[in-house]
Amino acid sequence: MTSPLARARQVGSEVAARHAESVDRDARFPHEAFSALKGARLLGVMVPRAHGGEGASIADVVAICHALGQHCSSTALIYAMHQIQLACVVRHGEGSAWHRGLMERLASEQLLLASATTEAGVGGDVRSSVCALEHDGARFTLQKNASVISYGADADGILATARRAPDAPASDQSIVVVLKGDYTLERTSGWDTMGMRGTCSEGFVLRASGEIAQVLPVPYADISAQTMLPTTHLTWAGVWLGIASDAVSRARAFTRAEARRKPGTTPSGAARLAETVNLLQLMRANIVAATRDYQRAMDSVEALTALAFAVEMNNVKIGSSQMATQVINHALLVCGLAGYRNDGPYSVTRHLRDAHSAAVMINNDRILANSAGMLLALKDEPEMFA
């Protein structure tokens, strides 16, 4: 079998790209791309080999997100969100027989996981829950008014956060895996947006029940700090890098076409293109460095919970989300009207619309405020070349 990245590139170029326009236009789930991703066995790629997966690293997954993002932003972002949930199960479920069995199913059946972490009434704070797990012997019930469950109607399972018990404070949270058959969804809001239209990030009331064994055996606070947040920031950044990379590729193609059209002259946008490539390189370097730092820190709870690490992960999200739109704006200036059009090989309009989602997915202002508090507590700058 070829490498996961090679398979992802094939799915991206042969399937996701072909349907990206209709996914965006109709705000529909990218069924074709995910059928191909399942066929290529890319959904369970992070599952350890001992449980039937390929044991892919976070760097592998970020690279796949980048590859898919060059063809269909919605496909790439859904893939990233699925891998975030998978990472939580893989890193924190090994000690649970139920979750080990789930990993085997994720590898063999290529199940698609969604997330229900946001909730009406908490103002977007995923570290606070209104709903609670109601215990009844070895079983639980849960009702959650989730303001967003991206691709919820098309997922095979959902990881939902809730207070550990009805008498627990809002921040004392657990995360539980519920699979189809365990839950029902009642749609409460639609998804008609500027960009990332195919993620179908609608609101639902989630009603679920199951075995207590389905609750991950680690507090959500630890799962969030050690796995969910860094994986989220890195995989999303990979998606945005993919979108920006394709916009730059279109700007390069436009500039080459202009050079062929007027032999012996340097196209007017060539200097702007050079500046755009420089920005893209800076964006890529930031993501690669942060991914390596996360991989180095993975085996150390102390490193993963350090304030400096949290600030670094916050910064890669903020920096990448800001640079993505900057790079695509530069590509638009290179392509001019050809880039501004919705049709044609040099259009970057969908790229720009999709990239604008980056700053509001976990709002940058919220992250900056969080980082500001941590920076006040940091006494020394971390070693740059440690």
User: Average of pLDDT values for 151-162?
Assistant: 98
Give Cα separations from 249 to 72, 196, 274, 346 (angstroms). 15, 20, 12, 9
**pLDDT of 79 higher than 90:** yes
How high is the pLDDT of residue 238?
98
CB contact at 8 A, 88 and 227: yes
Of 185, 190, 186, nearest in space to 202 by CA: 190
How high is the pLDDT of residue 382?
61
Give Cα separations from 64 to 160, 199, 226, 277 (angstroms). 25, 17, 21, 21
Which DSSP helix (H) or strand (E) runs through 185?
A: strand 183-189
Percent of the chain with pLDDT strictly greater than 70: 98
User: Average of pLDDT values for 355-378?
Assistant: 93
Q: What is the pLDDT of residues 291-309, one digit of tens each?
A: 999 999 999 999 999 999 9
For the four alpha carbons of 68, 72, 73 and 77, in that order, the dihedral sign comes to negative
Q: Is 259 helix (H, G, I), strand (E, B) or coil?
A: helix
CB contact at 8 A, 157 and 111: yes
Same fold, 4-112 and 114-214: no
The DSSP result for 297-348, as a single string, is HTT-HHHHT-HHHHHHHHHHHHHHHHHHHHHHHHHHHHHTHHHHSSSSTT--
User: Average of pLDDT values for 343-354?
Assistant: 97
Pick the CATH number of 220-377 from 3.30.1600.10, 2.70.180.20, 1.10.10.10, 1.20.140.10: 1.20.140.10
How high is the pLDDT of residue 36?
98
How high is the pLDDT of residue 121?
86
Q: Which of 1-5, 16-20, 39-43, 265-269 has the lowest mean pLDDT?
A: 265-269
Number of other CB atoms surrounding residue 332 within 10 Å = 23
The domain ranges of the chain are 4-112, 114-214, 220-377
**Both ends of the chain: CA-CA distance in Å?**
37
**C-alpha torsion 152→153→154→155, nearest 10:** 40
Question: Is the pTM for the entire model greater than 0.75?
Answer: yes
pLDDT band at 264 (very low <50, low <70, confident <90, very high): confident
Q: Which of 284-298, 301-315, 372-386 has the lowest mean pLDDT?
A: 372-386
User: Average of pLDDT values for 235-253?
Assistant: 98
User: Average of pLDDT values for 210-238?
Assistant: 97
**pLDDT of 385 higher than 60:** no
Residue reference for tokens 């997330």: 115
What type of residue is 228?
Answer: M
**pLDDT of 383 higher than 70:** no
Q: What is the pLDDT of residues 108-138, one digit of tens each?
A: 999 999 999 999 988 778 889 999 999 999 9
CB contact at 8 A, 173 and 239: no
Percent of the chain with pLDDT strictly greater than 90: 93
Tell the CATH superfamily of the 114-214 domain. Butyryl-CoA Dehydrogenase, subunit A, domain 2 (2.40.110.10)
Of 284, 282, 312, nearest in space to 297 by CA: 312
**pLDDT of 40 higher than 60:** yes
How high is the pLDDT of residue 32?
98
How high is the pLDDT of residue 381?
65
Tell the CATH superfamily of the 4-112 domain. Acyl-CoA dehydrogenase/oxidase, N-terminal domain (1.10.540.10)
**pLDDT of 386 higher than 70:** no
User: Average of pLDDT values for 208-222?
Assistant: 97
Residue reference for tokens 């639980």: 140
What rounded mean pLDDT belongs to the chain? 96
